[in-house]
Amino acid sequence: SQTIHQWPATLVQPVGSPLSLECTVEGTSNPNLYWYRQAAGRGLQLLFYSVGIGQISSEVPQNLSASRPQDRQFILSSKKLLLSDSGFYLCAWSVPLPGDRTDTQYFGPGTRLTVL
């Protein structure tokens, strides 16, 4: 069965510091991978998605970046954090199958980031 891991689970960082969040998926190959951010009490905002190694699409211009160095690894980074970067960061995966229109996205446990 497939599992998705994120770390760290919780992070407190000062403004201006760098960021690296990691997401890995097990039990599947060539997944689509997604990074979302959820502000407190709000819905999810898609930040980045990737359909393969080195292929990153950005949804929202910001000071964040994403990379996919391996098939099942997705990294979210920042060189300098802003206060507005605080939130709950969720990684998700899906595997679109031929003839199956479901393509459900499955979410990881998330990283709660507080920027002070």
Partner 1 sequence: ELKVEQNPLFLSMQEGKNYTIYCNYSTTSDRLYWYRQDPGKSLESLFVLLSNGAVKQEGRLMASLDTKARLSTLHITAAVHDLSATYFCAPGRLETSGSRLTFGEGTQLTVNP
Q: Which residues bind partner 1 (CB under 8 A)?
A: 32, 34, 42-46, 49, 51, 57, 90, 94, 96, 101-110
In the bound state with partner 1, the residue whose beta carbon lies nearer, of 5 and 80, is 5
Rounded to the nearest whole angstrom, what is the least distance from the CB of residue 11 to partner 1 in the complex?
A: 15
DSSP strands (E only) in 1-116 = 3-7, 10-13, 19-26, 32-38, 44-52, 55-58, 64-70, 73-78, 87-94, 106-107, 111-115
In the bound state with partner 1, the residue whose beta carbon lies nearer, of 77 and 112, is 112
Rounded to the nearest whole angstrom, what is the least distance from the CB of residue 79 to partner 1 in the complex?
A: 26
In the bound state with partner 1, the residue whose beta carbon lies nearer, of 32 and 62, is 32
Q: What is the CA radius of gyration of the chain?
A: 14
Rounded Cα–Cα distance for residues 74 and 57 (Å): 12
Contact between 70 and 60 under an 8 Å Cβ cutoff? The reply is no
Rounded to the nearest whole angstrom, what is the least distance from the CB of residue 116 to partner 1 in the complex?
A: 20
